[in-house]
Amino acid sequence: MLLPGRKVGFGDLLIENGKIAEIVLRDDPGALNGGRLLMPGLVNCHGHTAMTLVRGLGGGLPLQRWLEEAIFPVEAKMCAEDIRSGALWGAMEMLAGGTVCVADMYDFPGEGADAFAEAGIKANVCRVGLNFIEGRLADCIGFTRGWKPSRVVADICIHSEYLTDRGFCRELAAANRELKRPLHVHVSETKREHDGCIARHGKTPMAYLADTGLLDRGAYAAHCVWCSDDDFRIMREYGVTLVHNPTSNLKLGSGFARVPEAVAAGVRVALGTDGCASNDNLDMFEEMHLASLVHKGRLNDPTVAGAWDVIEMATKNGAHALGRTDSGEIAVGKAADLCLVDLDKPHLCPALDIPNLIVNSMHASDVIMTMVDGEVVYDRGQWPTINHERAGYDFKCAVRRLFKAL
Ligand SMILES: [Zn+2]
């Protein structure tokens, strides 16, 4: 079975030079029970991949204490090699769960990018814009300007309104008139952040970012939990994607992004896992499941966040948000960024309603094969491009080193 667009088909796919060259559909109603499903690979539109190193740390703490008491002290000890190991480990987890592309925001992005390239996963990396680090603005601009695009590309980034000042934003925006990359940013994650920005600047974080010029080449904005209707209008006008991170928002008690309302206002919505300490996994099927459920509960309305809409958020919308319009769907001419799911399992049978099954019944662990640009990068517990025993050894050594010294 395969998913060409918003349809379920039975048939075959021809891949040539990393692209889908032909789709041959035929009638085969026998696949209701068992069989395999080929679907577009998933796009994780907001992550801090190397946070696999701190998976689950500080659970139960409120956001600010979680950051300051649990996360920051360990992050301060992380070196380039730790980031490389953590990012490779996260890339392995994502590929094993059908994710073909990630938007990553973390320190040592060059080492992260090396790990993504080794794994064969597509990635949009960035140097994180932060005000309080000497020379960081030039570093951010230089990082993106010097990047040689491959499966890994470099976008621009500020962490958030509250960790950068107006001058930083304006200068990065000015440089981006030549770099022409979308912005990766956290926006209105908590009420405190949203209200604080209004107190500081007299406008919401989204309106403030628009004002600085940072949205001029589009953006993908994580969380957007407290965004207003006016913010949604700005997002539509500037082509800003709302990256919904339901697990992270639930775990940290941040609130519920108004996703169906944003969609109704014409805003593109994609999905992300956020970092592994606020999730605590990189399972995009779980994000689809929650994205579909929480808005039905919040609005007392089972008709919102329908299965096809949510699948598109996790595939095509994410790919387009990251400037990868040649990915995210099964169509002739698109990149062969795909994953294969084994439906011959008790919890996936019968397959009466495939989109519903994907969103509500599937887990990352049901994926048996993942390919990027037609290259198999995960196959039944093996990652052909990676020495995974070595990767596991390095990762566990990094964890031991980081936590021994605490
Ligand atoms: Zn984040």
Kindly report, residue by residue over 286-329, the tens digit of the pLDDT.
999 999 999 999 999 999 999 999 999 999 999 999 999 999 99
Residues 370-400: tens digit of each pLDDT: 999 999 999 999 999 999 999 999 999 999 9
388, part of any domain: no
Output the pLDDT for position 62.
83
- The pLDDT-based confidence of 31 (bands split at 50, 70, 90) is low
Give distance in angstroms: CA of 27 to centre of ligand 1: 44
10, part of any domain: no
- Which residues have CB atoms below 5 A from the ion given as ligand 1? 274
SS3 for the chain, per residue? CECCCCCCEEEEEEEECCEEEEEEEECCHHHHCCCEEEEECEEEEEECHHHHHHCCCCCCCCHHHHHHHHHHHHHCCCCHHHHHHHHHHHHHHHHHCCEEEEEECCCCHHHHHHHHHHHCCEEEECCCECCCCCCHHHHHHHHHHCCCCCCEEECEEECCHHHCCHHHHHHHHHHHHHHCCCEEEEECCCHHHHHHHHHHHCCCHHHHHHHHCCCCCCEEEEECCCCCHHHHHHHHHHCEEEEECHHHHHHCCCCCCCHHHHHHCCCCEEECCCCCCCCCCCCHHHHHHHHHHHHHHHHCCCCCCCHHHHHHHHCHHHHHHCCCCCCCCCCCCCECCEEEEECCCHHHCCCCCHHHHHHHCCCHHHEEEEEECCEEEEECCECCCCCHHHHHHHHHHHHHHHHHCC
Give distance in angstroms: CA of 76 to centre of ligand 1: 17
Give distance in angstroms: CA of 326 to centre of ligand 1: 26
Q: Residue 171 is part of a domain; what is its CATH number?
A: 3.20.20.140
199, part of any domain: yes
Q: Is the pLDDT of residue 33 over 80?
A: no
Give distance in angstroms: CA of 244 to centre of ligand 1: 11
Give distance in angstroms: CA of 371 to centre of ligand 1: 26
Unique residue bearing structure tokens 């009420």: 191
- The pLDDT-based confidence of 27 (bands split at 50, 70, 90) is confident
Give distance in angstroms: CA of 222 to centre of ligand 1: 7
Unique residue bearing structure tokens 């992260």: 112
Give distance in angstroms: CA of 139 to centre of ligand 1: 21
The alpha carbon torsion through 384, 389, 390, 396 (nearest 10 deg) reads 130
Burial class (CB in 10 A: 0-12, 13-18, 19+), 244: buried
How long, in residues, is the chain? 406
Output the pLDDT for position 29.
60
Q: Is the pLDDT of residue 30 over 70?
A: no
Give distance in angstroms: CA of 160 to centre of ligand 1: 10
| Residues 358-368, mean pLDDT to the nearest whole number | 98
Give distance in angstroms: CA of 248 to centre of ligand 1: 9
Output the pLDDT for position 63.
81
Give distance in angstroms: CA of 275 to centre of ligand 1: 6
Give distance in angstroms: CA of 224 to centre of ligand 1: 11
Give distance in angstroms: CA of 363 to centre of ligand 1: 22
Give distance in angstroms: CA of 63 to centre of ligand 1: 12
Give distance in angstroms: CA of 46 to centre of ligand 1: 6
Output the pLDDT for position 149.
94
18, part of any domain: no
| Residues 215-241, mean pLDDT to the nearest whole number | 98
Burial class (CB in 10 A: 0-12, 13-18, 19+), 237: exposed
Q: Is the pLDDT of residue 87 over 70?
A: yes
Unique residue bearing structure tokens 């107190």: 199
Give distance in angstroms: CA of 307 to centre of ligand 1: 25
Give distance in angstroms: CA of 50 to centre of ligand 1: 12
Take residue 307 and report the two structure tokens written for it. Answer: 């299965």
Residues 257-277: tens digit of each pLDDT: 999 999 999 999 999 999 998
6, part of any domain: no
Give distance in angstroms: CA of 197 to centre of ligand 1: 18
CA distance 106 to 87: 10
Give distance in angstroms: CA of 185 to centre of ligand 1: 8
Terminal Cα distance for the chain, rounded: 50
Contact 224, 204 (CB under 8 A): no
* pLDDT averaged over every residue in the chain: 96
19, part of any domain: no
Give distance in angstroms: CA of 103 to centre of ligand 1: 10
Output the pLDDT for position 116.
98
144, part of any domain: yes
Q: Which amino acid is at 371?
A: M
Give distance in angstroms: CA of 308 to centre of ligand 1: 25
386, part of any domain: no
Give distance in angstroms: CA of 223 to centre of ligand 1: 8
Give distance in angstroms: CA of 48 to centre of ligand 1: 6
Considering its fold, how many domains does the chain have in total? 1
Give distance in angstroms: CA of 391 to centre of ligand 1: 24
Output the pLDDT for position 28.
67
The whole domain housing 214 covers 38-379
| Residues 82-109, mean pLDDT to the nearest whole number | 98
Q: Which residues of 104-134 are buried (b: 16+ CB within 10 A; e: fewer)?
A: bbbbbbebbbbbbbbbbbbbbbbbbbbeeee
Give distance in angstroms: CA of 93 to centre of ligand 1: 18
CA distance 264 to 6: 19
pTM score of the predicted model: 0.97
**Backbone conformation region of residue 7, classed left if phi is above 0, alpha if psi is from -120 to 50, else beta:** beta
Give distance in angstroms: CA of 104 to centre of ligand 1: 9
Give distance in angstroms: CA of 245 to centre of ligand 1: 9
Give distance in angstroms: CA of 289 to centre of ligand 1: 19
CA distance 246 to 279: 9
Give distance in angstroms: CA of 316 to centre of ligand 1: 21
